[in-house]
C-alpha cells in the first residue's frame, strides 16, 4: 500500500465498513438476545408441588374447555371471578389518579375524574403505582401484563413490527378454558393474539395526530357490548391520552377533557356490569391499567419515574374499605399477571417473575390466601429450577432459625441453598398452620408468620429472576468486538496513509517555509484529537452518558475558540501593514475568519440555551420553555414563519454569491423557492390543527412538498453535471482564489476543476436546503429557530473554510463540522433517553400508518443535525477545491479528488468507528451495572443509529462527488475526441 490509488482506497474503505457492519450485527444480537423462555403452557401440573424429576405435562392432551375450566377451579381451591373487563388507558401516569408522595393529584386532575376518585374514596377500588420496566413502549408492556415476563431490551424495536406472542400468557389460557373474548382499541392486541377474539375492532396506535376518533372508535361499541352476555373477557385499549401527551405534553389543554372521557367510560362499566350483578351472570372484575407513563413533554421509552409510573386499578373487589385513596402502594407491572391468573383460577404463566398483589385477595379466607401464595411460590420455584439446573429442594432440611414475628428465615450459603431454605421454611409454616401444629410458636400470629415467610421467598426469587442478566454468548460478542476493532484499525490506517501521501506530494507545490507551516502541529489540531479521548473517558460514567450534551457543547465551542486564537495570531503578523482595515488586502481573509468564528460561537451559545436537554436537568429553564410560556401557540407560529422566511432569504443569497450564470441560478432558486413557500403555507394554514387528526388538505400539501423537494433535489443532482456549462459565467472572479495566483487566465487551463467546483457547490446547496426545509416541516414548532441557526452555522462554516486556505488541515475543519453537528443534535432537544424521540412528527404527511415511512421520518427528525453536517461535505468539497485552482497545471486531478473526498468520508467513518468501538467495550464492562438497561443500553442504541446516519451521509457524499467527477471527465474526454476529429478533418 505504498501508493494508495483511488480504487484501492475505495475497496479498502468499503471492506472496513462491511466488517464493521458484520461486527456490529454480531454484537447487537449477542448482547441483546431475546430472553430465553420456557416453552409450552402451564396446565394442571401448575397446581401441584414441583418435583425435580417431574415430567413436563404441557404436551399431554387436555380435557375440553368446559371441563378444563372446572378442573382448574377444583385444583386451585380459589373461588374465581366470572368475567373480566381489562381497560388499558395508554400512557396514563398513576400520579394523575393516585397522586404522588402521599399527596392527592392536582385539583384539575381530581376534578377531571370525579367518579373514579369517588370509587377510591369509598373503598370500592384499589389503586397501585405499577412500576413498568424499560423500555416503556406499548408492546413489551402489554406482554409483561399478560405473561408476567420481562422481555428483551430490543423489544423497543419490535414494538413497531409486533409479532404473535408464543410464550405462555393469560389470553391464551383464557382461550383454552373456552372464554369468549372481545377486543376494542389498539391493534397491537390483534397482532399479539391473532384469531383469539370473537369480535374486535382495532385501530393503529402509531397515528398520534388522532386524539379523538381513535377513542370514539372504541367507545361506540361499548353500550352494545355491555348489554351482551356472550363474552367473558373484554379488552378496551384507549390511545387518545397517549396521543395527547405526544402532541402537547402532560400539561396539554386536552389532557383534562381526555381524562373526563375516560372517567365516563369507567362510570358506564361500573354502573352497568359491576353494581348490577343481580342477573345470575356472575361477578365481573374491572381492571384499569396503563402500559406506561409519560415525561413532561409527553414522550416515553426511558426509565425515569414519570415514564415507569403506570397504573393498576382494581374495581369490583370486596372488603377494601380500609385501603387509603392516595396510598403510595407500589407493585411491579409484572405482578398483574399472577394476580389475575389466581383471581380467575388459572395456571400462572410459566415465565412469570411477578408476585401476587395481596390486597386483591382480601375477600378470601385465610387458608385460600395461603393457597394463592403457595401456587405463586410453586410457579417461581419451577422457573428457578429452569434457570438453576442444580436447584432441588426435595429433602431439604427445615431451617430452625427464623424470626418468630415476621417469619423471615436467616438463610445463608449458596444461591441454591438460600432459595431452598426460604421455600421449605414457608412450606413448613404453611403446613404447620394448616395442621394446627403450632406449639413451638408461643408468640405472634402464626398465620402472619407463614404469610411473611412466603412473601420473603417470593420477593427474593422475583428480584433475582427480574434482574438476572441474560446469558450472553461471549464467543459471539468476542467476534463482534474483534470485527469492529479490525474495521477501526483499517479506517484509521487508511486515513493516516492518505495524510502521509497527500501532504507529502503537496510539498513540491509550496515553499519550504509554507511546507513547515503546513506540517507543523497547532493547538487546535491537538485538541481536535484530544476530544476523542475526552469522549471515550466520559462514556464510563452513567451521569456523563445522561448529560452528554454538555460535552459536545464544550468541545465544539472550545475548538472554535482555539481557531479564533489561531486567526488572531496570524492577524498580529499582518498588524503593521493594515490593522485598521480588517477586510482589505491580505487581512481580509483573517478578518472573514474571525467574523465567521464569532458568528459560530454566538449561534452555538443560543443553541446551547435553547433546550436544557439531558435527563436529570430537563426541568431547568431554557429558551424553549420561556417562549412556550410567554406566547403560546401564536408566538410559536410567528417564530416558525420568521424562521422560514429568513431561511428562504439566506438560501437564495448564499446561492447567488457564487460566481455562476445568473439565469441558471434563477431557475435553480425557483425550484427550491416553490417548496419553501409551500412549507410557509402549511405553517400558516395547518399548524393550529396539531391537536386534531391531519386533514386531507394538510396531508396532500405535505405530500406535494415531499414530491417537489425530492424531484428538485434528485433532478439537480443527476442532470446538473451534464449541463455544467450552463453554470459558467462569462468571467471568473478572483475572489475564489488567493491573490498569490498568477491571474484569472490560469483558470482556462482547468475547466474540469472549475466545472466540478460549480456543480458540487450547487448540488451541496440543494442537499442542505432540502434537508432544512424538511426539518422546518417535521420538527416541533419550537425547533424552527434552531434549524435556522444550524443552517446559518453551515453557511458561516463554509465562509470560514473558504478563507482559511491551507492554514488548517482538512481533517480539522471536517472535525469541526462533525462536532457542531453532534452539539446541534442535543440542541434540538435530543438526549440518550428513548423518551426524547419525537413520535408525533413521524406521521406528518402520511395518510395511513406505515411502519417503514414513519420509521424513516422518525430517523430524519432525530438525526437532523448530524445528517446536515454530513450532507454539507458536498459543499465543503466545492469550497476547498477553489484553493487548488491556482496550483500548477501538472497537479494530479485524481490526487486532488482523493484528498477532497477522502478526508471528509474517512474522517467521519473513523471518528464514528472509534466511538462505536469504545462504547461497545464500555457496554461489556458495564453489563452487570445497575443502570445497564436504563442508561447504557439506550445509549448504545443511539450509537448504532448514529452509525447508520454516518453510513448514509458518507454514501450520499461519496456517490454524489464521484458521479459528478466521472460525468465531467467523460464530457471532457468526449470534447477532446471531438476537437481531435475536427482538427483531422481540417487537415
CB 123 within 8 A of CB 320: yes
Mean pLDDT of 691-720: 84
Whether residues 344 and 370 fall in one domain: no
The CB density around residue 647, as the number of other CB atoms within 10 Å, is 24
Whether residues 947 and 806 fall in one domain: yes
Q: Say if 597 falls within a structural domain.
A: yes
Report phi then psi at 221, rounded to 5: -90, -15
Instruction: Give the end of a domain, one of 456, 478, 494.
Output: 456
Contacts of 221 (CB under 8 A, 6+ apart): 184, 201
Whether residues 409 and 263 fall in one domain: no
Q: Say if 622 falls within a structural domain.
A: yes
Q: Say if 25 falls within a structural domain.
A: no
Q: How far apart are CA 88 and CA 527, in angstroms?
A: 53
**Cα torsion through 349, 353, 355, 360, rounded to 10:** -50
CB 693 within 8 A of CB 212: yes
Q: How far apart are CA 763 and CA 872, in angstroms?
A: 10
Higher pLDDT, 640 or 839: 640
Percentage of the chain beyond pLDDT 70 is 81
Whether residues 198 and 255 fall in one domain: yes
Mean pLDDT of 482-489: 95
Over 60: is that where the pLDDT of 401 sits? no
Instruction: State the pLDDT confidence band at 129, using cuts at 50, 70 and 90.
Output: very high
**Cα torsion through 877, 881, 882, 888, rounded to 10:** 170
Taking each helix axis as running N to C, give the angle between helix 893-925 and helix 937-986, from 0 to 180 degrees, rounded to the nearest 10.
Answer: 170
Q: Say if 961 falls within a structural domain.
A: yes
Q: How far apart are CA 768 and CA 870, in angstroms?
A: 10
Instruction: Give the end of a domain, one of 301, 320, 355.
Output: 355
Q: How far apart are CA 797 and CA 596, in angstroms?
A: 7
pLDDT of residue 839: 77
Q: Say if 27 falls within a structural domain.
A: no
Over 60: is that where the pLDDT of 198 sits? yes
DSSP code per residue over 34-90: PPP---S---GGGGS---TTPPP-TTSPPPPHHHHHHHHHHHH--PPPSEEEEEEET
- CA of 262: how far to CAs of 48, 211, 238, 327, 609, in Å? 41, 13, 8, 21, 38
Whether residues 346 and 428 fall in one domain: no
Sheet containing 181-186: order of strands? 199-203, 181-186, 233-238, 83-89, 284-289, 309-315, 125-131, 330-332
Set of cell numbers at residue 233: 373477557
Q: What number of H helices and E strands is found in the chain?
A: 35, 8
Whether residues 879 and 754 fall in one domain: yes
Set of cell numbers at residue 690: 396539531
Set of cell numbers at residue 528: 481536535
Instruction: State the pLDDT confidence band at 472, using cuts at 50, 70 and 90.
Output: low
Set of cell numbers at residue 910: 473513523
Q: Which of 419, 424, 426 is nearest to 386 (CA)?
A: 419
Set of cell numbers at residue 769: 436546503
Instruction: State the pLDDT confidence band at 33, using cuts at 50, 70 and 90.
Output: low
Set of cell numbers at residue 65: 374447555
Q: Say if 21 falls within a structural domain.
A: no
3-state DSSP assignment of residue 153:
coil
pLDDT of residue 849: 66
CB 359 within 8 A of CB 441: no
Mean pLDDT of 872-885: 83
pLDDT of residue 985: 54
- CA of 96: how far to CAs of 100, 309, 648, in Å? 9, 10, 44
Higher pLDDT, 922 or 692: 922
Over 60: is that where the pLDDT of 53 sits? no
- CA of 275: how far to CAs of 79, 119, 228, 266, 282, in Å? 19, 12, 16, 12, 12
Computed on alpha carbons and rounded to an integer, the radius of gyration of the chain in Å comes to 34
Burial class for 969, CB neighbours closer than 10 Å (0-12, 13-18, 19+): middle
Instruction: Give the end of a domain, one of 323, 355, 387.
Output: 355
CATH at 312:
3.40.720.10
Beta-bridge partner residues of 131 = 309, 332
Whether residues 283 and 414 fall in one domain: no
Instruction: State the pLDDT confidence band at 669, using cuts at 50, 70 and 90.
Output: confident
Q: How far apart are CA 107 and CA 260, in angstroms?
A: 13
Q: How far apart are CA 312 and CA 146, in angstroms?
A: 13
CB 808 within 8 A of CB 663: no
CB 900 within 8 A of CB 880: yes
First to last CA, the chain: 47
Ramachandran sector of residue 849 (left: φ over 0; alpha: ψ -120 to 50; beta: rest): beta
Number of domains into which the chain is organized = 3
Whether residues 187 and 106 fall in one domain: yes
Q: Quote the pTM value.
A: 0.76
Q: Say if 183 falls within a structural domain.
A: yes
Lowest model confidence (mean pLDDT) among 23-32, 144-153, 580-589: 580-589
Instruction: State the pLDDT confidence band at 977, using cuts at 50, 70 and 90.
Output: low
Q: How far apart are CA 148 and CA 338, in angstroms?
A: 7
Whether residues 351 and 369 fall in one domain: no
Q: How far apart are CA 815 and CA 440, in angstroms?
A: 76
Whether residues 351 and 375 fall in one domain: no
Instruction: State the pLDDT confidence band at 205, using cuts at 50, 70 and 90.
Output: low
- CA of 270: how far to CAs of 125, 183, 265, 319, 565, in Å? 11, 18, 9, 17, 72
pLDDT of residue 733: 43
Helices of type H across 687-750: 696-719
| Domain carrying residue 376 | 363-456
| Secondary structure E strands in 107-148 | 125-131
Over 80: is that where the pLDDT of 869 sits? yes
Over 50: is that where the pLDDT of 576 sits? no
Higher pLDDT, 777 or 612: 777
| Paired sense of beta strands 309-315 and 125-131, if any | antiparallel
CB 52 within 8 A of CB 77: no
- CA of 905: how far to CAs of 10, 14, 910, in Å? 11, 11, 9
The string over 327-359, giving b where at least 16 C-beta atoms fall within 10 Å of a residue's C-beta and e elsewhere, is: bebebbbbbbbbbbbbbbbbbbbbbbbbbbbbb
Q: Say if 973 falls within a structural domain.
A: yes
Whether residues 413 and 321 fall in one domain: no
Taking each helix axis as running N to C, give the angle between helix 937-986 and helix 6-31, from 0 to 180 degrees, rounded to the nearest 10.
Answer: 160
Q: For residue range 244-280, list pLDDT tens digits in order.
A: 888 888 888 889 999 999 999 999 999 988 877 655 6
Mean pLDDT of 785-799: 94
CB 141 within 8 A of CB 333: yes
CB 241 within 8 A of CB 89: yes
Mean of pLDDT over the chain = 82
Whether residues 284 and 380 fall in one domain: no
Amino acid at each position: 500500500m505504498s501508493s494508495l490509488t483511488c480504487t484501492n482506497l475505495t475497496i479498502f474503505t468499503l471492506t472496513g465498513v462491511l466488517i464493521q457492519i458484520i461486527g456490529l450485527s454480531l454484537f447487537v444480537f449477542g448482547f441483546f438476545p431475546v430472553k430465553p423462555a420456557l416453552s409450552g403452557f402451564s396446565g394442571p401440573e401448575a397446581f401441584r408441588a414441583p418435583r425435580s424429576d417431574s415430567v413436563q405435562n404441557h404436551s399431554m392432551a387436555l380435557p375440553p374447555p368446559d371441563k378444563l375450566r372446572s378442573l382448574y377451579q377444583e385444583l386451585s381451591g380459589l373461588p374465581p371471578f366470572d368475567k373480566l373487563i381489562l381497560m388499558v388507558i395508554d400512557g396514563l401516569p398513576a400520579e394523575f389518579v393516585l397522586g404522588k408522595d402521599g399527596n392527592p393529584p392536582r385539583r384539575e386532575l381530581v376534578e377531571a375524574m370525579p367518579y373514579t376518585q369517588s370509587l377510591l374514596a369509598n373503598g370500592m377500588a384499589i389503586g397501585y403505582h405499577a412500576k413498568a420496566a424499560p423500555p416503556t413502549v406499548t408492546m413489551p408492556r402489554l406482554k409483561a401484563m399478560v405473561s408476567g415476563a420481562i422481555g428483551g431490551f430490543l423489544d423497543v424495536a419490535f414494538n413497531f413490527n409486533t409479532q404473535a406472542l408464543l410464550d405462555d400468557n393469560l389470553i391464551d389460557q383464557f382461550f383454552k378454558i373456552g372464554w369468549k373474548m372481545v377486543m376494542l382499541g389498539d391493534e397491537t392486541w390483534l397482532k399479539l393474539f391473532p384469531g383469539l377474539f370473537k369480535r374486535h375492532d382495532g385501530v393503529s396506535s402509531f397515528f398520534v395526530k388522532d386524539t379523538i376518533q381513535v377513542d370514539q372508535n372504541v367507545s361506540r361499541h361499548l353500550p352494545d357490548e355491555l348489554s351482551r352476555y356472550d363474552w367473558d373477557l373484554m379488552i378496551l385499549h384507549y390511545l387518545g391520552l397517549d396521543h395527547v401527551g405526544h402532541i402537547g405534553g402532560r400539561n396539554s389543554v386536552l389532557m383534562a377533557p381526555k381524562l373526563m372521557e375516560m372517567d365516563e367510560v369507567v362510570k358506564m362499566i361500573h354502573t352497568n356490569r359491576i353494581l348490577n350483578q343481580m342477573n345470575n351472570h356472575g361477578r365481573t372484575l374491572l381492571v384499569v391499567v396503563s402500559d406506561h407513563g409519560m415525561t413532561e413533554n409527553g414522550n416515553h421509552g426511558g426509565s425515569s419515574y414519570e415514564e415507569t409510573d403506570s397504573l393498576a386499578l382494581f374495581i369490583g373487589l370486596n372488603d377494601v374499605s380500609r385501603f387509603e385513596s392516595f396510598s403510595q402502594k407500589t407493585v411491579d407491572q409484572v405482578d398483574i399477571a399472577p394476580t389475575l391468573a389466581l383471581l380467575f383460577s388459572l395456571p400462572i404463566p410459566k415465565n412469570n417473575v411477578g408476585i401476587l398483589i395481596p390486597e386483591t385477595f382480601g375477600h378470601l379466607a385465610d387458608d385460600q390466601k395461603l393457597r394463592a401464595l403457595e401456587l405463586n411460590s410453586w410457579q417461581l420455584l419451577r422457573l428457578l429450577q429452569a434457570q438453576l439446573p442444580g436447584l432441588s429442594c426435595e429433602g431439604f432440611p427445615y431451617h430452625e432459625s427464623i424470626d418468630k414475628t415476621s417469619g423471615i428465615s436467616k438463610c445463608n450459603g449458596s444461591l441454591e441453598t438460600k432459595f431452598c431454605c426460604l421455600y421449605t421454611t414457608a412450606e413448613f409454616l404453611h403446613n404447620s398452620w394448616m395442621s394446627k401444629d403450632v406449639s413451638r410458636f408461643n408468640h405472634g400470629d402464626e398465620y402472619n408468620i407463614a404469610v411473611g415467610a412466603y412473601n420473603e421467598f417470593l420477593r427474593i426469587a422475583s428480584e433475582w429472576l427480574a434482574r438476572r442478566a441474560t446469558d450472553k454468548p461471549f464467543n459471539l460478542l468476542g467476534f463482534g468486538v474483534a470485527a469492529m476493532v479490525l474495521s477501526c484499525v483499517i479506517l484509521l490506517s487508511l486515513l493516516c496513509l492518505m495524510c502521509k501521501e497527500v501532504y507529502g506530494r503537496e510539498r513540491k507545490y509550496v515553499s519550504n517555509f509554507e511546507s513547515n507551516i503546513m506540517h507543523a502541529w497547532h493547538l487546535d489540531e491537538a485538541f481536535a484529537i484530544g476530544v476523542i479521548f475526552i469522549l471515550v473517558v466520559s462514556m464510563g460514567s452513567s451521569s456523563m452518558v445522561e448529560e452528554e450534551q454538555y460535552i459536545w457543547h464544550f468541545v465544539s465551542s472550545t475548538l472554535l475558540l482555539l481557531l479564533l486564537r489561531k486567526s488572531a495570531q496570524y492577524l498580529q503578523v499582518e498588524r503593521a501593514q493594515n490593522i485598521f482595515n480588517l477586510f482589505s488586502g491580505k487581512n481580509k481573509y483573517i478578518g472573514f475568519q474571525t467574523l465567521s468564528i464569532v458568528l459560530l460561537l454566538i449561534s452555538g451559545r443560543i443553541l446551547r440555551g435553547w433546550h436544557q436537554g439531558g435527563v436529570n436537568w430537563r426541568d431547568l429553564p431554557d429558551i424553549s420553555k420561556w417562549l412556550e410560556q410567554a406566547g403560546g401557540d401564536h408566538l410559536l407560529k410567528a417564530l416558525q414563519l420568521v424562521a422560514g422566511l429568513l431561511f428562504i432569504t439566506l438560501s437564495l443569497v448564499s446561492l447567488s454569491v457564487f460566481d455562476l450564470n445568473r439565469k441558471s441560478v434563477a431557475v435553480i432558486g425557483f425550484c427550491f423557492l416553490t417548496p419553501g413557500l409551500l412549507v410557509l403555507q402549511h405553517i400558516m394554514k395547518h399548524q393550529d390543527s396539531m391537536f386534531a387528526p391531519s386533514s386531507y388538505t394538510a396531508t396532500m400539501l405535505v405530500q406535494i412538498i415531499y414530491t417537489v423537494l425530492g424531484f428538485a433535489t434528485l433532478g439537480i443532482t443527476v442532470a446538473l453535471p451534464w449541463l455544467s456549462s450552463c453554470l459558467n459565467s462569462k468571467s471568473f472572479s478572483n475572489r475564489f482564489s488567493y491573490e498569490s495566483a498568477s491571474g484569472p487566465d490560469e483558470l482556462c487551463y482547468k475547466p474540469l476543476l472549475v466545472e466540478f467546483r460549480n456543480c458540487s457547490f450547487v448540488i451541496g446547496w440543494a442537499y442542505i436546503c432540502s434537508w432544512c426545509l424538511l426539518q422546518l416541516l417535521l420538527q416541533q414548532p419550537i425547533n424552527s429557530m434552531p434549524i435556522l441557526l444550524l443552517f446559518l452555522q453551515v453557511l458561516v462554516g463554509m465562509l470560514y473554510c473558504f478563507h482559511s486556505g491551507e492554514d488548517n488541515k482538512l481533517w480539522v475543519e471536517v472535525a469541526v463540522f462533525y462536532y457542531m453537528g453532534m452539539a446541534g443534535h442535543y440542541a434540538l432537544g435530543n438526549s440518550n433517553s428513548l423518551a426524547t424521540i419525537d413520535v408525533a412528527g413521524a406521521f406528518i404527511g402520511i395518510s395511513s400508518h406505515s411502519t417503514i415511512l414513519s420509521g424513516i421520518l422518525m430517523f430524519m427528525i432525530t438525526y437532523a443535525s448530524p445528517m446536515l453536517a454530513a450532507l454539507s461535505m458536498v459543499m465543503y468539497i466545492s469550497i476547498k477545491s477553489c484553493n487548488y485552482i491556482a496550483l500548477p497545471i501538472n497537479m494530479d486531478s485524481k490526487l486532488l479528488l482523493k484528498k477532497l473526498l477522502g478526508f471528509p468520508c474517512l474522517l467521519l467513518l473513523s471518528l464514528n468507528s472509534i466511538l462505536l468501538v469504545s462504547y461497545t467495550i464500555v457496554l461489556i464492562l458495564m453489563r452487570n451495572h445497575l443502570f445497564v438497561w436504563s442508561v447504557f443500553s439506550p445509549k448504545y442504541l443511539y450509537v448504532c443509529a448514529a452509525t447508520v446516519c454516518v453510513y448514509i451521509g458518507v454514501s450520499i457524499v461519496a456517490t454524489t462527488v464521484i458521479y459528478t467527477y466521472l460525468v465531467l471527465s467523460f464530457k471532457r474526454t468526449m470534447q477532446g475526441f471531438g476537437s481531435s476529429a475536427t482538427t483531422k478533418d481540417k487537415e
